[in-house]
Amino acid sequence: MAAPPLPPPDPQFVLRGAQSAVHTLHFCEGAQGQGRPLLLSGSLRGLVHIWSLQTRRVVATLDGHGGQCVTWLQTLPQGPQLLSQGRDLKLCVWDLAEGRNAVVDSVLLESVGFCRGSVLAGGLQRWLLAVPGRGSDEVQILEMPSKTSVCSLKPEAQARLGMPMCLQLWQADSSPRPLLLAGYEDGSVALWDVSSRKVCSRVSCHTEPVMGLDFDSQEARGVSGSAEKALAVWSLDEQQALQVRGTHVLTNPGIADVKIRPDRKILATAGWDHRVRVFHWRTMKPLAVLAFHSATVHCVAFADDGLLATGSGDQRISVWSLYPCT
Amino acid sequence: MDPEVSAVRLTVWEAVHILSSSEDGGRIFCTLGSLKRYLGATENPALPEEQEEFVRIHFSTFLRCLVSKLSPDWLELLPDGQMEELWASFFLEGPADQAFLVLMESIEGAASPSFCLMKMAQLLARFLSVGRMAAVMEGQCRQQAGPAFPLLQETLLTKVVGLPDRLGNRLQRENLATFLPQNYFPLLGEEVLRVLQVVVDSLRGGLDCSVSFLSQVLGKACVHGRQKEVLGVLVPRLTVLTQGSCLWQRVCWCLVERVPDWAMEAVLKGFVEAAPGPEVLSRLLGNVVTKSKKAQFVMTRKLLFLQYSCTMPMLQSLLGYLAMDSQRRSLLMQALKELLETWGSSSAIRHVPLVQQRYVSKAILICLAHLGEAELRDSRDELLASLMEGVKSRLDSSLPPVRRLGMIVAEVASARIHPEGPPLKFQYEEDELTREMLALAMPRPAADGPSEAGPSFAPVSGETPDRETVDRSGPQTGPEGSDSELDSDDEFVPYDMSVDREQRSSKAPSYVRGCLEALTGSEDWERWEAALWALEGLIFRSPAATQEVSVELAKVLLHLEEKTAVVGFEGLRQRALVALTVTDPARVAEYLTTQFYALNYSLRQRMDILDVLTLAAQELSRPGRLGKAPQRGSPDPGSQPGGAVVPAWRAVVEERVRRKTRRFSKGSAGRAPAVGPNEFNSVAGYFFFPLLQHFDRPLVTFDLLGDDQLVLGRLAHTLGALMYLAVNTTVAVPMGKALLEFVWALRFHGDAYVRQGLLSAVSAVLLSVPAERLLADLLDELLEARSWLGDVAEKDPDKDCRLLAVKALLLLEKLRDKLLPLSSP
C-alpha cells in the first residue's frame, strides 16, 4: 500500500525563443485540417508569438504593441480573430485568417494597470468586452465590434475596493443576463450584474490583491489566487451570493494566474515561487508541483484536449500532459 | 418493697429455675410465654410498671440464662423449631441495646467453633437484617445524652463499630456475608439514616432528641477507614433529603458538629470525597468550620498544606465550600494567603516534592477563581508581595517543572490580583498540565444543575433518544454528502511533492570563506540568512577549507546574533558550530573551552558552548561515522536527478539476490553495526579537561558556585556526557579520576539540577572506565562515592536524584558482580 509517490513529472516539451519573459498564453484551434491547436504567447517585449505544437516552432510573430508588454491574448469563436491587450494602453483586434496578420481594429484603454480583459461571445456577431475603465476602480463594458460603451461598473465610493485586478465575464445557462466576476485590489471578489450595473454580492477572500481567478459556471464554484500564501475557493448560490468554501494554504506566497481545465477535473496555478501547482478541482487535493522554471511563472493555459502550457520570466514556455482527459 | 415488684422478681427467679432444671418442653414453653408478657407483645400484657422493671433489672440476666441453655437437645424439646423461635423472639423483640450487648458478649465468650457460636451468629445476622441496629442507636438518641450511661454508650459504640472485626475474629472462615465490612458498613449507613429519619420525625413532633451517639458512630466508622462505605450510602441520600428541608439540614449539621475531635478529620475528608460539589458540601456541613476549631484546622490547613492526597474534584469542593458562605470566605482568603506564602517559600521549593508543589499551585488557582475582585483588592499588596517573591524564587530554580508552575501561577494570579496592571506573560509549552491548571483558574458557573440534583437519572434517560436520533441522522447525511465526492473515475494519484519547499534566496555563498564574509560584514540580510542555511553543508563538503578558518568561524558563530527573524536560527547556528567542531576538533574545542570561562559572555552563550561540545563529541564518537559523513551535506534539490535512481536499482538487485539465495539460519539477518575506531579518542582531552579547570574561580560576570548554578548544572551534565562518550578511549581513566574529584567537591550542592548532573556523571564514570582500572586506580574515590550515593538514594528530596543515585548504585553492584568471579578463585 505504501507505494512511494511517483517522481514529479517532466514537461512534454519546452518552447524556447520568446526572447523575453512570457506574460500570457492562449491556445486556439488551428486552421481546418491541422490536428493540433496553436499556442499563442505574449511577451514582455511586446511581441505575440504563434507556436505550432506540431513542429514546436514559431509560425508567426505579431508586433503591435510598440515594445510594451502583452498582458492578455484571446481568440474569438467566430472567425480567426485575435484580441491582444498590451501595456501601451491598446487592445488590438487581429485578423489571422488565411495567414494574414494585420491589426484590423484597436480599442484605446484608459487604465495603466495589469488587469486583463475578458470577453463574452455567445456565438453571435456581437460580443461583450470587459476592460478596466477610466477611473482607477472602474470596469468598462463595451459592445464589439461597434466599440459602443455599454456601461461602466463603478463600486460605491465607500466600498474602497481598489483597482480591479482580474475580470471574468460569463453568462448563466438559465438566464441571458451577462455577469462579471471581478477580483479587486483589497482581496475581495465581486459579482456584478452587468445589465443592472449592481454588485450582486461580494466576498473578501484574500488579504492581498487578487491576482487571478477562474470560475466553473456549471458547478457555480470558483477559485482565486492572490499575492498571499493561499488559494481561496468560493461558490455562488441560487441567490447569487458568493461564499468562501475554503482556503488552501501554499508553501510560498504569490499566485500570478489560476486556470481550471475545460473538463473541470484539475486546476493549475502559476506561482511567483517558480512553481506550477496542480490541484484536483473538486477536492482541492494537491496533485503535483512542477518545479521546472527558474523564474516567476506568469501564466498558465489549458487546451481543450487537456494540454497545459506555462509561461515564465525565464523566457521559456513548458508544455505538460498531466492526467489526460478521458 | 411493694408486692408487684417482688412479683416480677419472683416470676423471673422461678423462670430461671425452671429453665436451668427442667427437661420438660411444655413447661419451659409456658414459662417463657409467661415472661413474654413483660415485653408487651402478647394479648394480655403486664402492667407498664412491671414491664419497666423487667426491662431495667431482669432482662439481661434472663437473656444470659437463655444463652447458657442453648444446645441442640434443648432446642428439640419442642417440635418444628418452636423453641428456637421463642428463644430468638426475646432477642429480637426485647430492648435492642441489651439484646445486642448480650449477643456480642456471648459470641465472644462462646467456644469456637461450636453449635452455640453459629446459632448466636445467625441470630445476630437476623438481628441486623430486621433493622434492630437502628433500634439500638435510636435508644441512645432518646436517652437525652445525659451523663447517666457514658460507660454503656462507650461499650455500645465500640461494639457497634467493631462488629465486623470481632465477628471476623471469632468466626474465622465461617464468617457470614453480613458481617463483612463491605456489607456491614453500608448497612450501618442505612440504619443511621433510618435513625436520623426518626429523629427528624420526633423533632417535628416536638420531642427532644440527640444525635451525638450517631455522630460518634459515624466518627468511629470513619476513623476505622470506612468512610467510603458509610458515607457512600449516607451522602447521596442526605443530599436529596436536605434539599429544601431546613430541619434535615439542621440535623445534618448537628450530626457533623457533634463528631468528636479525634474523628473530625476522617469524617470531613469522607464528606469532601463523597460530596458531588461545593453546593452539596455546604448544605451538609453548614458552618462547622467556624464552630469547631478542629474542623477549621482540618479544612483550612491539614487538607491543603499537610496532605496532598485530595483529587482535584475534592479540592474544588473543599475550596468551593469555603467560598459559599460569607462567614467562611475570610477563611478562604486566609487560606489563599498562606498557600501563596508556602508556594513562594524558597525552602519549600527546594525540599517539597513536586507533586505537592503542583497541588498547592492548583489550590491557589482554585482559590483565585472563587474570590471576587473586591476581596482581592483589599489585600492586594500582601498577596502581590508574596506572589512576586514566589515567582522570583521559582524562576531561579533550575528544574523546568518548578519554573513552569511559577510561570502559570504568576500569569493567572497577577491577572486576577492586579487586573489593571501590566499583564505578566511567559513563554511556556502548553501541555496536559498547563491546560488543566488554566481550566482550574476559570471561575465556575454559579450553580450547576446536575450536581445539585444529585443522583437523578430522569434527564439522562430523557436525553438518550434525542442523542440517538442525532447520531442516526448524522451518518445518514454523511454518506450522502460524501457520495457525490467519491467519484472513482478521477482518483488522480498525486506526484511526489517533496520539492515544494519554502523558497529561499539563491544568493547563498558557495565557499566557507564566503559564508564567513557574509556572516560578518554583510548588510544584505538575505545573503546573511542564506549563508547561515548553507554553512553546515559547506563545512562538511570542504573540510580542508574549513580547517583554515575554523577558529575564526567559531568565533563568528559564537557571537552571532539573530538579526532577522530567521526560522530556526538557534538550530542552524548550533548545527554549524557542531559541524565545525567535528571537522576541526582540537582547535575549535580548545577555543570553545577557553571561551567558556572567558569574561564577557552571556549565560546563553556559555550553555551553547556546552551543548555544542556535547553534540560534537557525540558525533565524533559515533561508530561508522566516516562512511556516513558524505551523505550529510544537504542534497541540492533537483541537481542530481539520477540520485534517486541508484538506490532503486540497488534495491532491485539486492531483492533478486535475496530471492535466489537460500539461507540456513535466519538469525542476525540485520546488518552488522558499523565499526570503526572512536574518533573522539584523540581529542577527548581538548573537550574535557579545560572545562574542569576554572569552575571554582568566580569572575565578575560569571560565578558558577554562586548565582549561576543553572550553568553549573549544565556543566555537570556535559562532563558526564563527555565521559560517557569517551568509552573505549585511553584517556577515559584520567578523565574518570578528574570527574570523580569534581563530583566530590560539589556533592552537597543545594540545587537539585546540579546534583542530578553529578549523579549522572558518576554513572558515566562507572560505564566508561574499564572495571579493572576502576578498581586499581579509583578505588578510594569509588568507596567514598558509594556511601554518598547511598545517602542520596535514601534522603534526597528530589525524586530524580534518588532515582539516579539508585541507578548508579546498581551499576556499582553490577561492577562488583563482574569482578567477584575473577577474584574469588
* B288-341 per-position pLDDT tens digit: 888 888 888 888 888 888 888 888 888 888 888 888 888 888 888 888 888 888
Among candidates B493, B502, B638 on the partner chain, residue whose Cβ is nearest the Cβ of A252: B502
Q: Is B497 on the interface with A (CB under 8 A)?
A: yes
How far apart (Å, rounded) are the C-alpha atoms in residues A290 and B103? Answer: 95
Whole-number Å distance between alpha carbons of B752 and B754: 5
Let me know if residue A233 belongs to a domain: yes
Interatomic CA distance for residues B342 and A167, integer angstroms: 69
Whether residues A240 and A264 fall in one domain: no
B501:A287 CB<8 A: no
Give me the amino acid identity at B163. Answer: L
Across the interface, do B492 and A280 touch by the CB < 8 Å criterion?
A: yes
Say what the pLDDT of residue B6 is.
62
Region B493-513: mean pLDDT is: 77
Nearest CA in chain A to B642: A7
For the question of whether the overall pTM of this predicted structure is more than 0.95, the answer is no
Put simply, the answer to whether A7 touches B496 (Cβ < 8 Å) is: yes
The predicted pLDDT at position B634 comes to 38
Contact A9 B493 (CB under 8 A): no
Domain stop point among A184, A218, A249: A249
Distance from CA of A243 to the nearest CA of B (A): 18
Query: Looking at CA atoms only, how far is residue B648 from chain A in angstroms?
Result: 11
Tell me how close the Cα of B489 comes to any Cα of chain A, in angstroms.
Answer: 9
Candidates B763, B718, B754; CA nearest to B350 is B754
Binned at pLDDT 50, 70 and 90, residue B465 comes out as very low
Between CA A85 and CA A62 the distance in angstroms is 12
Most confident option among A86-100, A155-169, A305-319:
A305-319
pLDDT of residue B514: 85
Q: What is the pLDDT of residue B718?
A: 92
Contact A214, A222 (CB under 8 A): yes
Decide: helix, strand or coil at residue B21.
helix
* CB-based contact B749:B755 (threshold 8 Å): yes
User: Cell 486576577 maps to which residue?
Assistant: B416
Which of A152-166, A179-193, B359-373 has the highest average model confidence (pLDDT)?
A: A179-193
One domain for residues A279 and A228: no
Mean pLDDT on B797-809? 89
pLDDT computed for residue A232 by the predictor: 94
Task: Report how far residue A196's alpha carbon sits from residue A179's, in angstroms, rounded to the nearest whole number.
Answer: 10
Residue A283 inside a domain? The answer is yes
Give the highest mean pLDDT range of A37-41, A322-326, B139-143, B636-640.
Answer: A37-41
Q: Does B43 touch chain A (CB under 8 A)?
A: no
Q: Which of B609, B556, B547, B610 is nearest to B580 (CA)?
A: B547
d(C-alpha B738, C-alpha B120), whole Å:
78
Cα distance between residue A189 and residue B238, in whole Å: 65
Q: Would you call B495 and A6 a contact, using CB atoms and an 8 Å cutoff?
A: yes
Residue B286 has pLDDT above 80, yes or no: yes
Last residue of a domain, one of A249, A265, A281: A249
Q: Average the pLDDT over each of A45-49, B95-99, B279-283 and give the range with the smallest value.
A: B95-99
A121 and A244 both lie in a single domain: yes
CB–CB contact A282 B487 (8 Å): yes
Residue A68 included in any domain: no
Residues of B in contact with A6 (CB under 8 A): 493, 495-496
- Is A278 found in the same domain as A167? no
Q: Which residues of A touch B487 (CB under 8 A)?
A: 282
pLDDT for the residue B804? 92
Q: Which amino acid is at B121?
A: A
Are residues A264 and A216 in contact, defined by beta-carbon separation less than 8 angstroms? Answer: yes
Q: Specify if A90 maps to a domain.
A: no
Is B647 within 8 Å of chain A by CB?
Answer: no
Task: Give B505's contacts in chain A (Cβ within 8 Å).
Answer: none
Percent of chain A with pLDDT over 90: 57
Chain A contacts in chain B segment 454-493 (CB below 8 A): 485, 487, 489-490, 492-493
Phi first, then psi, for residue A136 (nearest 5°) are -65, -25
Our CA angle for B413, B417, B422, nearest 5°, is: 85
Region B352-366: mean pLDDT is 87
Q: SS in 3 state form for A39-106? A: EEEEECCCEEEEEECCCCEEEEEEECCCCCCEEEEEECCCCCEEEEEECCCEEEEEECHHHCCEEEEE
Instruction: Report the pLDDT value the prediction gives residue B628, as an integer from 0 to 100.
Output: 45
Predicted confidence (pLDDT) at residue A279 exceeds the cutoff of 90: yes
Chain A, window 4-33: residues with a beta carbon less than 8 angstroms from a chain B beta carbon: 4-9
Look at residues A96, A30, A102 and name the one whose alpha carbon lies nearest to residue A63.
A102
Q: How high is the pLDDT of residue B615?
A: 92
Least confident of B66-70, B777-781, B787-791: B66-70
Nearest Cα to Cα of residue B692 among B682, B704, B710, B707: B704
Give the range with max mean pLDDT: A40-49, A99-108, B642-651, B703-712.
A40-49
Residue A197 Rama label (left phi>0; alpha psi -120 to 50; beta): left
The count of C-alpha atoms lying within 13 angstroms of the C-alpha of A25, restricted to the half-sphere facing its C-beta, is: 33
Residue whose cell numbers read 519547499:
B501
How many domains does chain A divide into? Answer: 2
Residue A312: which domain range? 9-63+252-325
* A82 inside domain: no
Whether A6 and B487 lie within 8 Å, measured CB to CB = no
Q: Among the listed ranges B498-512, B585-599, B626-640, B695-709, which one has the minimum average pLDDT value? A: B626-640
Task: Report pLDDT digits (tens) over B672-710.
Answer: 555 667 778 888 888 888 888 888 887 777 788 877 888
Nearest residue in A to B494, CA atom: A287
What per-residue confidence (pLDDT) applies to A209? 93
pLDDT at B646: 52
Specify the pLDDT at position B451. Answer: 39
Query: Is A198 part of any domain?
Result: yes
Q: Is the pLDDT of residue B19 over 80?
A: no
Using the Cβ of B503 and the Cβ atoms of chain A, whether some distance falls under 8 Å is answered with yes
Q: Is there a contact between B497 and A6 if contact means CB atoms under 8 Å apart?
A: no
pLDDT the model gives residue B466: 41
> Please, is B776 exposed, middle or buried when counting C-beta atoms within 10 Å of its C-beta (0-12, 13-18, 19+)?
exposed
pLDDT bin (cut points 50, 70, 90) of residue B47 is confident
pLDDT digit string (tens) for A70-118?
999 998 877 678 999 999 999 999 988 877 888 888 999 988 888 999 9
Distance set, CA B537 to CA B551, B552, B554, B717 (Å): 18, 18, 15, 29
Q: Of B292, B285, B275, B278, which Cα lies nearest the Cα of B253?
A: B285
- The CATH number of the domain where A239 resides is what? 2.130.10.10
List CB contacts (< 8 A) between A3 and chain B: none
Interface A–B counts its CB contacts (< 8 A) at 58
Q: Same structural domain for residues A259 and A207?
A: no
Report the pLDDT value the prediction gives residue A301, as an integer from 0 to 100.
Answer: 95
Helix-helix angle B227-242:B278-285, to 10 degrees? 90
- Residues of chain A in contact with residue B485, where contact means CB-CB under 8 angstroms, are 282-283
Q: Is a pLDDT exceeding 90 seen at residue A211?
A: yes
CA distance A73 to A40: 7
Q: What pLDDT sits at residue B485?
A: 45
Return the pLDDT at B473: 40
Average pLDDT over residues B208-215: 83
Name the residue facing A8 among B487, B493, B499 (closest C-beta).
B499
Q: Are residues A173 and A244 in the same domain?
A: yes
d(CA B267, CA B281): 12
Q: Per-residue pLDDT for B641 more than 60?
A: no
Chain B contact set for A7 (CB, 8 A): 495-496, 644
Of A249, A266, A292, which closes a domain? A249
Least confident of B557-561, B587-591, B631-635, B764-768: B631-635
> A61-65: long-range contacts at Cβ-Cβ below 8 A with a sequence spacing of 24 or more?
A62/A94, A62/A101, A64/A90, A64/A92, A64/A94, A64/A103, A65/A90, A65/A92
Is residue A32 within 8 Å of residue A307, measured between CB atoms?
Answer: no
Residues contacting residue A266 through CB under 8 Å, at least 6 positions apart: A260, A278, A279, A280, A281, A287, A322, A323, B492
Same domain for A288 and A270: yes
DSSP-H helix ranges across B22-71: 25-36, 48-53, 59-69
Cα(B729)–Cα(B196) distance, rounded to whole angstroms? 80
Kindly report the average pLDDT of chain A as a whole number: 89
Instruction: Note whether B495 contacts A4, CB cutoff 8 Å.
Output: no
pLDDT mean over B150-170: 84
B496–A8 CB contact, under 8 Å: yes
Closest residue in A to B493 (Cα–Cα) = A287
Asked whether this complex has an ipTM greater than 0.85, the answer is no
Question: Given a cut of 90, is residue A318 above it in pLDDT?
Answer: yes
> Pick the residue with more confidence: A196 or B427?
A196
Count Cβ neighbours within 10 Å for each residue of A223-244 and write b for 16 or more, e otherwise.
bbbbbbbbbbbbbbeeeeebee
Angle at B113 between CA B110 and CA B117, to 5 degrees: 45
CA–CA distance, B377 with B367 (Å, rounded to integer): 14
A 165-224 residues with CB below 8 A of B? none
Identify the pLDDT of residue B78: 73
> In this complex, which of B493, B497, B503 lies closest to A252 when CB atoms are compared?
B503
CA–CA separation, A134 vs A163, rounded Å? 11
Give the alpha-carbon dihedral of B686, B692, B694, B699, to 10 degrees: 100
Residue contact B487–A266, C-beta within 8 A: no
CB B180 within 8 A of CB B171: no
B492 contacts in A (CB within 8 Å)? Answer: 265-266, 280, 285, 287, 323
Contact A178, A116 (CB under 8 A): no
Least confident of A73-82, A246-255, A296-305, B621-630: B621-630
Whether residue B361 contacts residue B404, with contact meaning beta carbons closer than 8 Å, is answered with: no
Looking at residue A116, its pLDDT comes to: 92
Q: What is the mean pLDDT of residues B350-376?
A: 85
**3-class SS at A128?**
strand
Q: How confident is the model at residue B626 (pLDDT cuts 50, 70, 90)?
A: low
Q: What are phi and psi of A50, to 5 degrees?
A: -110, 115
In a domain, A267, yes or no: yes
**Does residue A245 share a domain with residue A196?**
yes
* Alpha-carbon gap: A57 to the closest alpha carbon of chain B (Å): 28
Mean local confidence (pLDDT), B405-424? 83
Q: Per the domain annotation, does A73 fall within a domain?
A: no
- Residues of chain B contacting A8 with CB distance shorter than 8 Å: 495-497, 499
